[in-house]
């Protein structure tokens, strides 16, 4: 039963935000989120109720796997009816991957799922953890006439809420660690929270929430570079069980017109490997056929990644493979926006 004030569930998976320095050694270790009010007493001023649950063994986000994504999904599924929103505390290094994965696995969301973290631990004098956490909770608790305002997976960092599957980590040194190059922010945090409603995902239907829990990791990514030894590509497509190859191409989806390169790609296609074209550029979109250097890829029926991020492309491929679609259905679904991941 949801109380008058929104009930928000914090899910701690690990990461810098939940670390404190061990007395004497200075080593960073996770602290118990049962005692979070002692670390951030400001949470008591929020007009919402906050509960927390933690992974049994919090992880460094560099170790995140599909199994961890499914664990998060399962926690949300279990508690979905009893909470107004969810805030996931996560290491920043792979946060964009997790945000992307969750956006595909959590279907028909009518509540916010907000990921956040920090560059410095909560106990640090100059920490960004408190602001990120407090504001993420406030955003997760935003309602209008008892209905959540945000109904999607978002990523909050340094005064901005982004659509999770549009984000990329851009800095390991500054507090504004994330950016969304191809889609504007959803909320800006200043003196007030400015909700940019026109940018929010519209989920007005009455389809019930459900969770998917199957992904297939038979996916590889190859970033093209000048002077690349083509034996790398040739060997890559011989990997047993490989189903999808994501090519990080130049500019608007361009690749070498080298005959040997194209022949290898054609060989991969004949093996049943689906090839996806995603640009290396932080911003912009794949436009196959605009230049001659991408027209050959179009002839080879390479899938157009449009303006998807590499993080989202990887997770979307794993998700669609888990659905066991035909090649044609996979192509159609990949080139279609499922949850706002492409324009």
Give the residue numbers marked as catalytic: 16
Q: Are 341 and 100 in contact, with CB atoms under 8 Å apart?
A: yes
Nearest-angstrom CA–CA distance, 204 and 290:
37
Nearest-angstrom CA–CA distance, 148 and 129:
24
Write out the two tokens for 105.
């696995």
Nearest-angstrom CA–CA distance, 337 and 183:
13
Q: How many CB atoms lie within 10 A of CB 279?
A: 24
CB-count burial class (<10 Å; 0-12, 13-18, 19+) for 28: middle
Kindly give the pairing relationship between strand 219-223 and strand 244-249: parallel
Q: Are 140 and 47 in contact, with CB atoms under 8 Å apart?
A: no
Report CA torsion sign: 281, 190, 154, 200: negative
Write out the two tokens for 177.
């660690």
Inter-CA distances, 264 with 149, 269, 271, 273, 318, Å? 48, 9, 11, 11, 23
Beta-strand (E) ranges in the chain?
A: 7-12, 19-21, 28-30, 49-54, 85-89, 106-107, 113-116, 143-144, 147-148, 153-157, 160-163, 168-169, 178-179, 187-189, 193-195, 210-211, 219-223, 244-249, 274-279, 303-304
- HSE-CB at 230 with a 13 A cutoff on CA atoms is 11
Report the SS3 class of residue 277. strand
Q: Are 136 and 145 in contact, with CB atoms under 8 Å apart?
A: no
Read off φ and ψ for residue 316, nearest 5 degrees: -65, -40
């Amino acid at each position: 039963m949801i109380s008058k004030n929104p009930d928000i569930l914090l899910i701690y998976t690990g990461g810098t935000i939940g670390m404190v320095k061990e007395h004497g050694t200075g080593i960073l270790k996770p602290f118990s989120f049962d005692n979070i009010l002692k670390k951030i007493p400001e949470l008591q001023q929020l007009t919402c109720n906050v509960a927390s649950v933690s992974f049994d063994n919090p992880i460094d986000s560099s170790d995140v796997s599909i199994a961890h994504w499914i664990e998060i999904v399962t926690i949300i599924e279990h508690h979905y009816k009893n909470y107004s929103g969810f805030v996931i505390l996560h290491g920043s290094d792979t946060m964009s991957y997790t945000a992307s994965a969750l956006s595909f696995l959590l279907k028909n969301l009518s509540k916010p799922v907000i990921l956040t973290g920090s560059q410095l631990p909560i106990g640090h004098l100059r920490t960004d953890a408190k602001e990120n956490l407090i504001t993420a909770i406030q955003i997760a608790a935003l309602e209008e006439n008892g209905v959540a305002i945000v109904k999607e997976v978002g990523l909050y960092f340094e005064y901005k809420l982004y659509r999770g599957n549009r984000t990329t980590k851009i800095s390991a040194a500054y507090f504004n660690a994330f950016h969304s190059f191809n889609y504007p922010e959803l909320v800006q945090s200043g003196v007030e929270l400015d909700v940019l409603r026109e940018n929010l995902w519209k989920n007005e239907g009455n389809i019930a929430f459900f969770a998917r829990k199957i992904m297939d990791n038979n996916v590889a990514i190859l970033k093209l570079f000048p002077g690349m030894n083509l034996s790398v590509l040739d060997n890559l497509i011989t990997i047993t069980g490989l189903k999808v190859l994501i090519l990080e191409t130049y500019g608007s989806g361009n690749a070498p017109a080298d005959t040997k390169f194209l022949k290898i790609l054609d060989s991969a296609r004949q093996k049943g490997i689906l090839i996806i074209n995603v640009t290396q550029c932080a911003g912009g979109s794949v436009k196959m056929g605009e230049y001659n250097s991408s027209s050959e890829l179009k002839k080879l029926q390479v899938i157009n990644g449009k303006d998807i991020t590499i993080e989202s492309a990887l997770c979307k491929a794993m998700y669609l493979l888990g659905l066991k679609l035909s090649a044609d259905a996979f192509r159609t679904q990949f080139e279609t926006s499922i949850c706002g991941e492409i324009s």
